[in-house]
Amino acid sequence: MLASLAACAMAGLGMAAETPFTGIFGGAGGFCLGALHIHAQAVEWNTSYSVCETSNYEVLEEKIWKKKSHLVWLLKNPGEKCRFEIIEAQHVKNQGWNITGYPSREAFEKKGQPGWVDSALPGRQILSCSMVKVD
């Protein structure tokens, strides 16, 4: 009984889910044309800007709610053509999500600091795409 109550309380607080988050997201236009595939143990994100091969990942953040979710994955071996070490997914509305790629953990951690936002330096460039969850 206590375990059930604790599980319900954790779900209400938006804590990490027992089952890994999975999904397929589609993007269109410019640099965002492509698809993001999140599997139980691997992620792949291919766009016209970057090709991230299927890679194992570490979950850095995972808050799952019915209407708003926020997830962050650190890619372990994304391949040479991948421009991102970290992928962040923020649920916006209905099937809409904002997917953002960061070149490094430092870029992710400093994303809101002056000098990092909209920087032209290669180590600070991010890609932010409006995508639709199709599965």
Domain assignment present for residue 75? The answer is: yes
Residue 125 lies in a domain: yes
Distance CA 132, CA 112 (A): 25
Task: Identify the pLDDT of residue 57.
Answer: 96
Domain range enclosing 73: 20-133
pTM listed for this prediction: 0.81
Cβ pair 43, 99 in contact under 8 A:
no
pLDDT per position as a tens digit, 9-38: 334 344 444 678 899 999 988 889 999 999
Residue 77 falls inside a structural domain: yes
Q: CA–CA separation, 83 vs 72, rounded Å? A: 16
Is 116 part of any domain?
yes
Asked if residue 94 belongs to a domain, the reply is yes
Within a domain: 5: no
Question: Over 90: is that where the pLDDT of 129 sits?
Answer: yes
Q: What is the pLDDT of residue 3?
A: 38
Q: What percent of the chain has pLDDT over 90?
A: 57
Q: pLDDT tens digits for 39-95? A: 999 999 999 889 999 999 999 999 887 778 899 999 999 999 999 999 999 999 888
Side-chain half-sphere exposure of 57, counting CA atoms within 13 A: 31
Whole-number pLDDT of residue 12: 39
Tell me which DSSP letter residue 7 carries.
H
How many Å apart are CA 46 and CA 26, to the nearest integer?
10
Q: Which residue has the tokens 């997917």?
A: 99
Q: What integer pLDDT is reported at residue 26 of this predicted model?
A: 93
Token pair, residue 84, equals 């991102």
Q: What is the pLDDT of residue 5?
A: 34
Closest CA to 102 of 88, 89, 114: 88
Q: Look at phi and psi of residue 76 and say left if phi exceeds 0, alpha if psi is from -120 to 50, else beta.
A: alpha
